[in-house]
Amino acid sequence: MIERSVVVRVHEGLHARPATQFVKLAKSFASDIEIRCNGRGASAKSAVKLMLLGVKENDEATLRADGDDAADALSALSTFLQTPDAGDVALSAKPAETHATPAQPLATGASRGIGASEGTAIGPAFAFFPAALDIQPRTVPGHEREAERARYSAALAETVQSFREAKSRPGLKRDDAAIIDALVEVAEDGEFIAAVEAAIRDGRDAPSAVVEAGREIAANFEALSDPYLRARAEDIRSVTRSLALTLLGRKDTTLAEMPKGSIIVADEIAALDLAKATLLNIGGILCRKGAATSHVAIMARAHGIPAVLGFPTEEAVLKAARTIGLDGSSGEVAIDPDGEATVRFQSAIAREAEERRKLDAYRTVEPRTRDNRRIEIAANLGSLAEIEGALKAGAMGVGLFRTEFLFMERRSLPGEDEQAETYTKLAEAFAPYPVVIRTLDIGGDKPVAGIDFEHEDNPFLGWRGVRMCLERPDVFKPQLRALLRASPVGNVKILLPMIADVGEVHAVRALLDECRTELDAAGIAHGAFELGVMIETPAAVFLAAEIAREVDFFSVGTNDLTQYVMAADRLNPRVAKLNRTEHPAVLAAIRHAAQAAREAGIWIGVCGEAAARPDLIPFFVENGVSELSMSPTSIPRAKKCVTEI
């Protein structure tokens, strides 16, 4: 048996979707794998047990593996745990920033719940109160127990298939599918199955065995302190109910026939219930249970459905309601509002619609400042799956494609052909707009299988980015050749991370020359490209004038530049107050790099989180930045901001 301890960097810890991805990765190895955290342990191949560990961001976890592929398993799983974006948690998974509770009084008959998805709604109430499961436990004779277990197995397969069919319904987004994947993982969890089968062996009938096992697991989640993990009890109840109904041969109440514009009123809604609805028909959601961290809240935010959860009222009150008005930001709810309140809700809806309409108009705009300066607003992406969303948002190309996601969560390095195909598809999707593809940016904080990283006390200052790549040409050259093979499309720009010395640029150019020669010898086409560097180290800032003479563009990585300038780890909450891009020292560094770019006649972009901030966009533009790259959801607002400068 071997073991390895790591600090968990997964954003918000191993909640449902990261836990699901972690378990899938663990199951790809034959070894027995255990994860221990906070004095407790669980199988790395059980999503339920893993979530019940309550592994948080910045916790220290120990992985133990026993088997022929134990070393590979620990390498891959350690990589996952040290990757902030592991599990691909989208921005829509986070609660929206809500405005403060309004000073105006509540409408007559109104009170408040938890604002879970912003927006105002008013409409007819659609009561969704599925009948409670009334299962009378019965004892199964010994000679029938194997048949009862087989009946459970068949019901499990049928239920999982229904989940997968729900995942493919039109109108669902990638995040919705990830939530349903998490439900599948719960249903197929080894611990859950073992608990049900043990109860059946003891003589319990399958439906009551399922309900009993589900009730116990849900109670374990509800006892946790973390609100996100507590909300996973909702998922357990949803899976349990689906399994029990399948065993009973019954169909559940659905939202499929809900009239358009209705406000769903319910005790609790599961993500699966929402997935089966026509989401465009839902005017709003009001539930007695739930929180902003529940999966129904995440899905509501992703689809722009106003929602209030945890509303303190009796079930009978909601069942009797005819009309519901709600504010998903403040949590205000009015049941059967009077005329004055109705007008107020309707006015708010009209105002929000006008604001959305104005913002949506910017999706197709190529923004120019008032003095006619064109600024490209591009997208930060990590996979080809994100292309469609970026194009819909109006991305003018890709300002940062993080190639490390091609290398992570896998057992071997991607080949040159696979990389070339990925980069070519990316370039073709956005042509003629540029795609800036960053070369492999990994290190001790996010290692990959196939590259041996020794322990480093401070991996952010260690063997990472271009430093590692230049010492591993066997890894770097296949990527460079793949990028060159994609360049005939005509819009490929290569970006080098962690540059601290002009000699590193010279070394990369020499490797590129070697790669071109090798491709020529093999008769493989390649084309022209631009070469740029990330401005993210203080050294690159101080040497900006010298480096600018050797490259075609700069791209400011505000996240790392801020932490390096301020000597404040961006993952350490105790120094978070220092980690501010708007700090005068960081702005001075950006201004210095922009001046060097201007004097050298090259362009400069910004690809960190700050690129989307309305308070900083005027500063960037004023200092000569011509490209801003960000999460696709931020693109329309950034375009609007540019046109007002």
111 beta partners: 333
304-354 residue pLDDT tens:
899 999 899 999 999 999 999 999 989 999 999 999 999 999 999 999 989
176 beta partners: none
Q: What is the pLDDT of residue 527?
A: 93
Terminal CA-CA length for the chain: 61
Percent share of the chain, pLDDT over 70: 90
Active-site residue flag, 607? yes
Percent share of the chain, pLDDT over 90: 54
For residues 167 and 296, give the distance between their C-alpha atoms in angstroms, rounded to a whole number: 14
Active-site residue flag, 295? yes
Q: What is the DSSP letter of 368?
A: B
Q: What would the mean pLDDT of 184-197 be, rounded to a whole number?
A: 89
The total of other beta-carbon atoms located within 10 Å of residue 339's CB is 8
Crossing angle of helices 473-486 and 416-430, rounded to 10°: 40
Q: What is the pLDDT of residue 300?
A: 87
Lowest mean pLDDT among 4-13, 183-192, 355-364, 446-455: 446-455
Contact 47, 193 (CB under 8 A): no
Q: What is the pLDDT of residue 553?
A: 98
Q: By three-state DSSP, how is residue 412 classified? A: coil
Q: What is the average pLDDT value for the chain, to the nearest integer? A: 87
For residues 272 and 269, give the distance between their C-alpha atoms in angstroms, rounded to a whole number: 8
Structure token digits, residue 509: 């150019």
Peptide bond into 538 cis (omega under 30): no
509-522 residue pLDDT tens:
999 999 999 999 99
Say which of 37, 287, 295, 641 is annotated catalytic. 295
pLDDT higher for 446 or 559?
559
Lowest mean pLDDT among 109-113, 474-478, 583-587: 109-113
pLDDT at 564 over 80: yes
Q: What is the DSSP letter of 342?
A: H
pLDDT at 598 over 70: yes
Tally the C-alpha atoms within 13 A of residue 109's C-alpha that lie toward its C-beta.
15
Q: What is the pLDDT of residue 231?
A: 74
Q: What would the mean pLDDT of 589-601 be, rounded to a whole number?
A: 97
Q: What would the mean pLDDT of 497-507 be, rounded to a whole number?
A: 96
pLDDT higher for 385 or 287?
287
Structure token digits, residue 322: 């005819």
What global pTM score does this model have?
0.60
Q: What is the pLDDT of residue 90?
A: 39
130-139 residue pLDDT tens:
888 888 889 9
Confidence of residue 147 (pLDDT cuts 50, 70, 90): very high
Q: What is the pLDDT of residue 583?
A: 93
79-131 residue pLDDT tens:
788 776 665 443 333 443 333 333 345 555 558 888 888 899 999 999 999 88
pLDDT higher for 151 or 109?
151
For 314-323, letters b (16+ CB in 10 Å) and e give: eeeebeebee
Confidence of residue 599 (pLDDT cuts 50, 70, 90): very high
Integer CA distances (angstroms), 100 to 78, 97, 149, 327, 331, in order? 40, 9, 53, 12, 10
Q: What is the pLDDT of residue 489?
A: 95
pLDDT at 190 over 50: yes
584 — phi, psi (to 5°)? Answer: -55, -35
258-284 residue pLDDT tens:
899 999 999 988 888 888 888 889 999
pLDDT at 149 over 90: yes
Contact 209, 196 (CB under 8 A): yes
Q: What is the pLDDT of residue 212?
A: 92
pLDDT higher for 39 or 518?
518
Contact 318, 266 (CB under 8 A): yes
E runs forming strands in 481-562: 492-496, 530-535, 553-556
Instruction: Tell me the H-state helices in 361-453.
Output: 387-393, 404-407, 416-430
For residues 427 and 405, give the distance between their C-alpha atoms in angstroms, rounded to a whole number: 17
Where does residue 512 fall: left (phi above 0), alpha (psi -120 to 50 degrees), or beta otherwise? alpha
- Residues near 115 by beta carbon (within 8 Å), at least 6 away in sequence: 98, 292, 308, 327, 328, 329, 330, 331
372-404 residue pLDDT tens:
999 999 999 988 888 988 999 999 999 999 998
pLDDT higher for 444 or 485?
485
Where does residue 239 fall: left (phi above 0), alpha (psi -120 to 50 degrees), or beta otherwise? alpha
Say which of 37, 287, 607, 641 is annotated catalytic. 607
Crossing angle of helices 174-187 and 233-248, rounded to 10°: 70
Confidence of residue 447 (pLDDT cuts 50, 70, 90): low
For 162-171, letters b (16+ CB in 10 Å) and e give: ebeebbebee
pLDDT higher for 347 or 7?
347
For residues 127 and 362, give the distance between their C-alpha atoms in angstroms, rounded to a whole number: 38
> DSSP string covering 106-170, please?
PPTTEEE-EEEE--EEEEEEEEE-PPPP-----BPPGGGHHHHHHHHHHHHHHHHHHHHHHHTST
**DSSP H or E run through 437:** strand 435-438
